[in-house]
Structure 1
């Protein structure tokens, strides 16, 4: 058997080849029939940029490792609703300014009891002085009044807020909120409450953990978990040959190769990746709402999905979160060159020309950009495709350019609004700033009923759908593959609780 070793990784690091192939699942000696010895999963890597600190690291491969070691109070399900994990329950007071959270009876990997002090320490760390890399949940949790929070007892914590929020569990399910142990300062050898106990980690190479037999949600069948960094071609070749058990985030071309192949099960999870264009609303020409409306009608979304994304997805409609809680189902924006002309005439714009800044950072980006330029040309608009650096694109695109591209994983709609669309939001790629929109968001948070919040969020969506800066043109399928010698391999929407979890995997 020929080994497939990703660039920069030794044969030993990838654990491939010969009789010791880590991809082989075997019934463990002395274990139950459903137990497995070693399970190897491959994810898209990012070299030295990878990490294991749940407060600052955000790559998909980072999240997979942290899901193995840590738990959050809440995580989100496939519809982006918060679901309790280390929190057994959570109840607000009458005005939504205090939440009392009952905690599960759980243990840290070193045997210490999980308590409310761990929760308060985690929140204080996130809201405290930033380190070299900012804490990613600092803006999500900035409503917390840390001085007024308290441990009621070992398994009850009370979180005080500066303003009402009846959706605080959604904030506690966001990136950066996994619970770390009280007093932990060195997270390079993490101690968690999760299903696997940390053993070793080399950025850009390999993470190893072993089963936590005292896990509160049941001991894993997998006895040893290995998560490795590998590029797309290496992931495909390794899962084909049986050298790994699971490959995440495959390309449409890889899916075509694997479909119908014996020994491998391909999973295609719809509505998992959200592709968008982002118009900078604070600068010409997109400071004019009629120009933004024109761009929304300048795109043949079906052609973009079919050609640029190889048909592995569905048309989207400039409204974030199709299929998620609070999604507003509005009439589909269509490709309409005549309407483009009318809108640009009303805006007083002639011979419209602008740059589209993109880079090959995700599947189909460059192809989609060039296809959109062709579509715009048929509307009498010139789009200049400018290619940036793959390594720095997302940081560059946050502040530079007129029109940029991006890809989002699933996210709850309240968190999408808070992190990307409120004035001053840290990931405000469109530079959107609208006082009415900000007021509506605060009102939604203070509304105690889901029905009432749904109505407010619909109004917010209608504002964005009419004159916002995002054009969400397609949702993509998330493609993963597993050897058919296993069952319960994760196949779920990225960022949801069931994605990249290996504690329920077992041998067939």
Structure 2
């Protein structure tokens, strides 16, 4: 790779220092023989099983190897990929999906049996980690679903769902080959053919010359895991070609260089605090309402995020389909104190579990602890391992932190908030909320569904477990001379795709 490979892939401070020596303005001419992209890593927690792995670096690798029936565009609206079209019956309980002609990397034909196997796997027994789409695909009745012919599949649902293509576009729904059980050497239908992968270090794949959507110009794709400083220095030194999710310091360091192009997509990152609502002190709605008023969102953006972002309003996905415009909760320690008194809570104290997994996390945690102290609330900041943080945070602590890219609103509800959802970081379980979601799925018109989803947003805004405190721009950068490098909304189809890169 032309640099200290082991040190870089480990993302160590030593790697950052090694790169610094190579940071000059000269660079070799670009070509697409090998293209190297760097993403934030998470060590042993990384993976390439599309049913269970959800980190951004995981998604980048899986976009290279696999395709889904649908993905979403920048507005979080489904667009067909391996599906050519999907049509419901009159009551939304039966969807007939026409499949495009495509081939697996081993040369065999993609077909309806692969779709049925993928869904059966997601709905089957959980592995060491749960299947991400198990909740959103739960309405599928596998016993009645069938392959009409090799390129047509009919999926039968236990209850109507007129938003079903959104469920088929979510995390955990990329199609795997019928019978696949070993994902150490995955076979997909995507633009790149798997060659090697070492969690926390590197992934290598080669161009799929028979790709149904056109062969990539990139001959070999490398996706490496690295910390922010390592990504910055490697890009400045010309040792990598693309760096994802850069922080404000890196953005300023690259400004004005003629050998690097910085690309910014506003409002693409969503930072949050997550209260576990199944345990004290956040099992009381008034304590959750109080916490929403203990967060000075504007100060967190200004200080912890160095002004790179906008204060959040505790509504997920503002501006996307089925979102809602609701007023931001003000920072009001006095009102928070009144709510705590109404809840019968005195001398409130709890741990905030965080880790340096994203820009400003630890700084925001410590600043929030100072803000909460104004209402007499003691917050003890506990810093965990960045390599296992997102897995640990599902179980550890009453209050945690997280980062999300945009998702379709129904997928956000289904994967994170419906009772028993696999990524339910707040342990939210609310019968009224669940009933509204079920009604929305059975409602035929988009306007009527939007009204029901708005009611769900209002419940969360009032007494939910998330505090979406900031919306941040997504900053990436590429070596000058490359065209069509991905600069768009995370989780959308075009994000983290490198098959269109040109020199």
| Range 65-74 or range 38-47, more displaced | 38-47
Distance of aligned partners of 1:451 and 1:214 in 2 relative to their CA distance in 1, 3 Å threshold: same
Checking the alignment, whether the CA contact within 8 Å between 1:5 and 1:234 is kept in structure 2 is: no
Partner of 2:463: 467
Distance of aligned partners of 1:76 and 1:170 in 2 relative to their CA distance in 1, 3 Å threshold: same
Instruction: Please tell me whether residue 409 in structure 1 is matched to residue 405 in structure 2.
Output: yes
C-alpha deviation, 1:361, in angstroms: 2.7
Instruction: Please tell me whether residue 69 in structure 1 is matched to residue 61 in structure 2.
Output: no
**Which one of the candidate residues 338, 351, 356 is aligned to 1:360?**
356
CA deviations over 1:289-334 (Å, ceiling 9, x no partner) = 2222222112110100111112111111111112221110011221
CA distance in 2, matches of 1:185, 1:430: 31
Partner of 1:43: 39
Partner of 1:423: 419
Partner of 1:253: 249
**Which one of the candidate residues 290, 295, 307 is aligned to 1:294?**
290
Instruction: Please tell me whether residue 56 in structure 1 is matched to residue 52 in structure 2.
Output: yes
Distance of aligned partners of 1:37 and 1:152 in 2 relative to their CA distance in 1, 3 Å threshold: same
Checking the alignment, whether the CA contact within 8 Å between 1:25 and 1:39 is kept in structure 2 is: no
Checking the alignment, whether the CA contact within 8 Å between 1:25 and 1:37 is kept in structure 2 is: no
Instruction: Please tell me whether residue 213 in structure 1 is matched to residue 204 in structure 2.
Output: no
Distance of aligned partners of 1:66 and 1:392 in 2 relative to their CA distance in 1, 3 Å threshold: closer
Checking the alignment, whether the CA contact within 8 Å between 2:42 and 2:388 is kept in structure 1 is: no
Partner of 1:199: 195
SS in structure 1 of the partner of residue 249 of structure 2 = helix
C-alpha deviation, 1:51, in angstroms: 2.5
Distance of aligned partners of 1:386 and 1:133 in 2 relative to their CA distance in 1, 3 Å threshold: closer
Instruction: Please tell me whether residue 339 in structure 1 is matched to residue 361 in structure 2.
Output: no
Distance of aligned partners of 1:243 and 1:298 in 2 relative to their CA distance in 1, 3 Å threshold: same
CA distance in 2, matches of 1:42, 1:25: 19
TM-score after normalising by structure 2: 0.91
Partner of 2:490: 494
C-alpha deviation, 1:184, in angstroms: 2.9
| Range 208-217 or range 396-405, more displaced | 396-405
C-alpha deviation, 1:422, in angstroms: 1.6
Distance of aligned partners of 1:151 and 1:500 in 2 relative to their CA distance in 1, 3 Å threshold: same
Checking the alignment, whether the CA contact within 8 Å between 2:9 and 2:224 is kept in structure 1 is: no
C-alpha deviation, 1:9, in angstroms: 5.1
Checking the alignment, whether the CA contact within 8 Å between 2:2 and 2:239 is kept in structure 1 is: no
Distance of aligned partners of 1:262 and 1:342 in 2 relative to their CA distance in 1, 3 Å threshold: same
C-alpha deviation, 1:259, in angstroms: 1.4
**Which one of the candidate residues 360, 380, 383 is aligned to 1:384?**
380
Partner of 2:111: 115
Partner of 1:84: 80
CA distance in 2, matches of 1:467, 1:49: 32
| Range 293-302 or range 403-412, more displaced | 403-412
CA deviations over 1:311-358 (Å, ceiling 9, x no partner) = 111111111112221110011221123322333343344443333222
CA distance in 1, matches of 2:37, 2:245: 11
TM-score after normalising by structure 1: 0.91
C-alpha deviation, 1:4, in angstroms: 5.0
Checking the alignment, whether the CA contact within 8 Å between 2:44 and 2:388 is kept in structure 1 is: no
CA deviations over 1:369-393 (Å, ceiling 9, x no partner) = 1111211222333323233343443
C-alpha deviation, 1:398, in angstroms: 2.2
Partner of 1:264: 260
**Which one of the candidate residues 404, 428, 433 is aligned to 1:432?**
428
SS in structure 2 of the partner of residue 419 of structure 1 = helix
Distance of aligned partners of 1:69 and 1:393 in 2 relative to their CA distance in 1, 3 Å threshold: closer
Distance of aligned partners of 1:112 and 1:161 in 2 relative to their CA distance in 1, 3 Å threshold: same
C-alpha deviation, 1:52, in angstroms: 2.2
Unaligned runs of 5+ in 2: none
Partner of 1:7: 7
Instruction: Please tell me whether residue 504 in structure 1 is matched to residue 497 in structure 2.
Output: no
**Which one of the candidate residues 101, 104, 118 is aligned to 2:97?**
101
Distance of aligned partners of 1:144 and 1:2 in 2 relative to their CA distance in 1, 3 Å threshold: closer
Q: Give the total of aligned pairs.
A: 491
Checking the alignment, whether the CA contact within 8 Å between 2:264 and 2:475 is kept in structure 1 is: yes
C-alpha deviation, 1:24, in angstroms: 5.2
CA distance in 2, matches of 1:328, 1:292: 20
Unaligned runs of 5+ in 1: 28-35
C-alpha deviation, 1:199, in angstroms: 2.6
C-alpha deviation, 1:287, in angstroms: 2.5
Hey, which bits of structure 1, 4+ residues long, moved more than 6 A? Answer: none
C-alpha deviation, 1:204, in angstroms: 3.0
Checking the alignment, whether the CA contact within 8 Å between 1:358 and 1:404 is kept in structure 2 is: yes
